[in-house]
């Protein structure tokens, strides 16, 4: 969800200030966000089978998370469908900005509707309600996922810049120097 908010933020900056780099960052965030969302859905389904007795229910949180995956896929598909990069950036940015409405729905769905999901085990206002070994493992994995996401997004942004400016003299000089 945070990756989608970042994607919408950079899309908004790109549209408001006509900033190419911001729109490239939004584009670079989308595959990583889609992958993380897919991992959340699949691992949640695997966890849900022994816990709830089924892999999938049309629960508010699960359904809105699935919609988030479709938003990521729609963003990437629309961008790939338009040949002109600048037009593709702007069109995909609109999807990101409209779709960001789904993020609070995902987050608050447990509080708003009677769902299968429990409330948050970790909050800023009270002590965690999960065992310390589970908390440590979760924190280590969260840091690992963030490190992966940041590294991949920066590498992908670099590639997008090089692809778009492939015919420019500065990119050609990079290739001739190596």
Tens digits of residue pLDDT in 96-138: 999 999 999 998 888 888 777 777 777 778 888 889 999 999 9
pTM value > 0.85: yes
What value does the mean pLDDT take over residues 17-37? 97
Does a structural domain hold residue 115? yes
- Mean pLDDT over all residues of the chain? 92
In eight-state DSSP terms, residue 28 is H
Does a structural domain hold residue 178? no
Tell me if 16 sits within 8 A of 23, measured CB to CB.
no
Task: Supply the range of the domain harboring residue 104.
Answer: 2-130
Q: Nearest to residue 26, comparing CAs of 66, 70, 75, 71?
A: 75
Q: What is the pLDDT of residues 1-10, one digit of tens each?
A: 999 999 999 9
Q: Nearest to residue 146, comparing CAs of 33, 22, 13?
A: 33
| pLDDT at residue 129, rounded to an integer | 82
Does a structural domain hold residue 135? no
Helix orientation angle between 2-17 and 60-81, rounded to the nearest 10 degrees: 40
Q: Quick one: CA torsion of 67, 93, 6, 3, rounded to 10 degrees?
A: 40
Does a structural domain hold residue 58? yes
Does a structural domain hold residue 159? no
Does a structural domain hold residue 56? yes
Supply angle C-alpha 66, 68, 69, rounded to 5. Answer: 65
Query: For the chain, what is the total number of helices (H) and then of strands (E)?
Result: 7, 0
- Alpha carbon distances (Å) from 113 to 61, 77, 83, 139, 151: 9, 32, 42, 28, 36
Does a structural domain hold residue 150? no
Q: Identify the band that residue 66 occupies on the pLDDT scale cut at 50, 70 and 90.
A: very high
């Amino acid at each position: 969800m945070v990756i989608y908010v970042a994607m919408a933020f950079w899309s908004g900056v790109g549209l408001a200030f006509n900033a190419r780099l911001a729109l490239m960052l939004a584009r670079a965030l989308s595959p990583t966000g889609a992958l993380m969302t897919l991992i959340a859905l699949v691992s949640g389904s695997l966890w849900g089978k022994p816990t709830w007795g089924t892999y999938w229910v049309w629960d508010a949180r699960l359904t809105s998370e699935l919609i988030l995956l479709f938003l990521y896929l729609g963003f990437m598909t629309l961008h790939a469908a338009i040949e002109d990069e600048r037009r593709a950036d702007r069109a995909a940015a609109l999807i990101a900005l409209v779709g960001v409405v789904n993020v609070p729905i995902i987050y608050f769905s447990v509080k708003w509707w009677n769902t299968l999901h429990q409330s948050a085990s970790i909050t800023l206002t009270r002590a965690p309600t999960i065992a310390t070994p589970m908390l440590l493992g979760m924190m280590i994995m969260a840091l690992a996922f963030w490190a992966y996401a940041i590294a991949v997004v920066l590498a992908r942004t670099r590639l997008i810049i090089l692809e778009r400016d492939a015919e420019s003299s500065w990119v050609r000089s990079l290739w001739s120097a190596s």
